[in-house]
Amino acid sequence: MQNNFEKQVSSKMEELDLVPSAPVWEKIELQIRRKKDRRRIFFWIPLALVLTGAITWLSINNISSTSNAEQVRMNEEETKTQMNASQGKSSNNQDGHTVIDVPGDLNAEKHVAEKKSDVKQFKEASMEGSIKKEKSSQGSQGKLGSASSVKTRIETNGIVENNQRKKEVVSINDDASIPKNRRQVQGKNDQVSSVRVEVTIEDSSGSIADSVARDSIVLADVPGINNVVGEKAILLAKAKKSKWEFGITAGAGISGEGKGIRLGTNENLDFQNVGSFPTVNSNTNGSVTNNQVHFNLGVLIKKQLNSRFEFISGIGYHYYSSKRKVGNYISQDTITPGGALVSGYYQNYGVQTKEVTNSYHMLSIPVLLSWKVSQKLPVHLQFGFAYQRLIASDVYQFDKQTVIYFKDHGSLNQNQLMANLNVGYTFKMNRTSLFVGPSLQFGLTTVNPRENKSLYALGVQAQLFFNK
């Protein structure tokens, strides 16, 4: 208890009136602003990653588009040559379309239609015959690279069923009669004198997905055109634009914090001061943290970049936890070394130790590239980064100088950059695809700067994508 002397000293000290020099505030201001700038940097990092990904994707796509355009031009030339050689008339119409007249006894039912939305229409038009669905072949996919979209217009006797932008038109004129059962569909037209099949390639970015060609329809037995027009239609159909796929993801496993990944059990190696009083210069590092539960949930978007690569991003929630031993609990308002006011803390020694759980709640934005390891097997290797923001925590940090364990959310690093690595098998189902496999995450930044510790997690990851 303070007595008269202490009161006098305390009272005298209150009279002290010192004024700091001007540069002090300038330095403080500089440090506060710098902190804000650092925060801004962390905000821009994920955006920069997304932009980098987008630019990479565009670059890849441009290369593919160029090669695709050349491929189409070569096909066109080939078509013209073959048609002319087989006495057909070939001409360019006014809007620059290539029109090829194919003579012969062609029935309306022997013509080509393509495209999911048009298939139904086409079928309704009772285009009977040998329309068959054809799966995409690896070879043709490889040739086309990543053209963007293909649209087909079918014109029968001038009735246009679908009108799209076009670069190329293949027209087949025929004087053959339309069977009676087709008149109903054709309406006023009793006869079909010409059937036009227009195949349009939109020259925008995109790529061939495995699923693209599954609705491709080609006539197998159109004399003279099967090998040219039909094949071409397949090729072009495969060049349909790859779209964003949406999905959900979930994962679970173990997580921990440390300077590296620790898979063993806690041997309490550093917790050597139990039962004794530490000195002021104690070199203890605090107790070892044990691995605990990790899980994550989120939504993802995916886009095919080319036949081997996919771009994946999204947003999710991650929970990381670990356990550590602490000593006596002191219930007392205290200012932590980081300057926060806490209602109590744990010492690094005590008769009875206790295990506490450290938990981190993170919001995560992953930016991943998925690489199809094998052409034959649907095994994917996903790698990339995730920006994570600490939204809540319940973490006991150890301070070497005061030798205590305390909670201070503010002194944890709120922004994290995690490296991600997933390997898995993709199961293709009707309209979904499921990726399952082991995953590894490790922090490239320290989450607990006081102890220089980063987060890591090992587990199993599942991603379910819905194909449109």
Partner 1 sequence: MDHYSLVKDCLKGKPSAQKQLYELFASPMLNVCYRYTKSMADAEDVLQEGFVKVFRHLHQFKFEGELGGWIRRIMVTTAINYLKKNARYQTDLLFPDDHLHVVNNEQHPEIKMQARELANLIRQLPPGYQTIFNLYAVEGFNHVEIGKMLGIRESTSRSQYARARALLIQWIEQKNNDNKISAYAK
Q: 410-429: which residues touch partner 1 (CB under 8 A)?
A: 410-411
Q: Which of 85, 263, 269, 280 binds partner 1 (CB under 8 A)?
A: 280
Torsion from C-alpha of 100, 102, 107, 109, nearest 10 degrees: -40
Whole-number minimum distance, CB 23 to partner 1, in Å?
8
Instruction: Indicate the residue among 55 and 392 with the shorter CB distance to partner 1.
Output: 392
d(CA 79, CA 99): 10
Whole-number minimum distance, CB 335 to partner 1, in Å?
4
Helix extents (H) in 341-443: none
d(CA 287, CA 79): 76
Instruction: Indicate the residue among 117 and 401 with the shorter CB distance to partner 1.
Output: 401
Whole-number minimum distance, CB 27 to partner 1, in Å?
5
Instruction: Indicate the residue among 167 and 450 with the shorter CB distance to partner 1.
Output: 450
Q: Does 93 bind partner 1 (CB under 8 A)?
A: no
Instruction: Indicate the residue among 84 and 276 with the shorter CB distance to partner 1.
Output: 276
Close Cβ partners of 211 (under 8 Å, ≥ 6 residues apart) = 467
CA–chain centroid gap for 24, Å, is: 47
Instruction: Output the six-digit token pair for 173.
Output: 């004129």
Scanning the structure block, which residue is given the tokens 């040998």? 130
Torsion from C-alpha of 30, 36, 41, 46, nearest 10 degrees: 180
- Region for residue 371 given its phi and psi (left: phi exceeds 0; alpha: psi -120 to 50; beta: otherwise): beta
Whole-number minimum distance, CB 418 to partner 1, in Å?
24
Whole-number minimum distance, CB 327 to partner 1, in Å?
12
Q: Which of 192, 212, 213, 404 binds partner 1 (CB under 8 A)?
A: 404
Whole-number minimum distance, CB 334 to partner 1, in Å?
8
Count of residues that interact with partner 1, criterion CB under 8 A:
50
Whole-number minimum distance, CB 408 to partner 1, in Å?
8
Q: Which of 285, 402, 446, 467 binds partner 1 (CB under 8 A)?
A: 402
Instruction: Indicate the residue among 346 and 385 with the shorter CB distance to partner 1.
Output: 346
Whole-number minimum distance, CB 333 to partner 1, in Å?
9
Determine the straight-line distance between the first and last CA of the chain, rounded to whole angstroms: 77
Q: What angle do CA 101, 104, 109 make, to 5 degrees?
A: 90
Beta bridge partners of 442: 419, 456
Close Cβ partners of 188 (under 8 Å, ≥ 6 residues apart) = none
Whole-number minimum distance, CB 214 to partner 1, in Å?
55
Instruction: Indicate the residue among 94 and 332 with the shorter CB distance to partner 1.
Output: 332
Instruction: Indicate the residue among 15 and 95 with the shorter CB distance to partner 1.
Output: 15
Instruction: Indicate the residue among 16 and 263 with the shorter CB distance to partner 1.
Output: 16
Whether the Cβ atoms of residue 433 and residue 427 lie closer than 8 Å to each other: yes
Instruction: Indicate the residue among 67 and 415 with the shorter CB distance to partner 1.
Output: 415
Q: Which of 6, 70, 190, 394 binds partner 1 (CB under 8 A)?
A: 6
Q: 286-345: which residues touch partner 1 (CB under 8 A)?
A: 330, 332, 334-341
Instruction: Output the six-digit token pair for 24.
Output: 């002090």
Instruction: Output the six-digit token pair for 116.
Output: 């999911």
Torsion from C-alpha of 217, 81, 153, 146, nearest 10 degrees: 70
Q: Which of 43, 277, 425, 466 binds partner 1 (CB under 8 A)?
A: 277
Whole-number minimum distance, CB 265 to partner 1, in Å?
29
Whole-number minimum distance, CB 443 to partner 1, in Å?
22
Q: Is 117 helix (H, G, I), strand (E, B) or coil?
A: helix
Instruction: Output the six-digit token pair for 146.
Output: 């990543």
Q: 10-39: which residues touch partner 1 (CB under 8 A)?
A: 10, 12-21, 24-25, 27-29, 31-32, 35-36
Instruction: Indicate the residue among 85 and 280 with the shorter CB distance to partner 1.
Output: 280
- Compute the radius of gyration of the chain from its Cα atoms: 34
Neighbouring C-beta atoms of residue 268, cutoff 10 Å: 14
Q: Which of 129, 278, 437, 438 binds partner 1 (CB under 8 A)?
A: 278
Q: Which helix (H) or strand (E) holds 60?
A: helix 22-85
d(CA 335, CA 315): 36
Q: Is 247 helix (H, G, I), strand (E, B) or coil?
A: strand
Interaction site with partner 1 (CB under 8 A): 2-6, 8-10, 12-21, 24-25, 27-29, 31-32, 35-36, 277-282, 330, 332, 334-341, 347, 401-404, 410-411
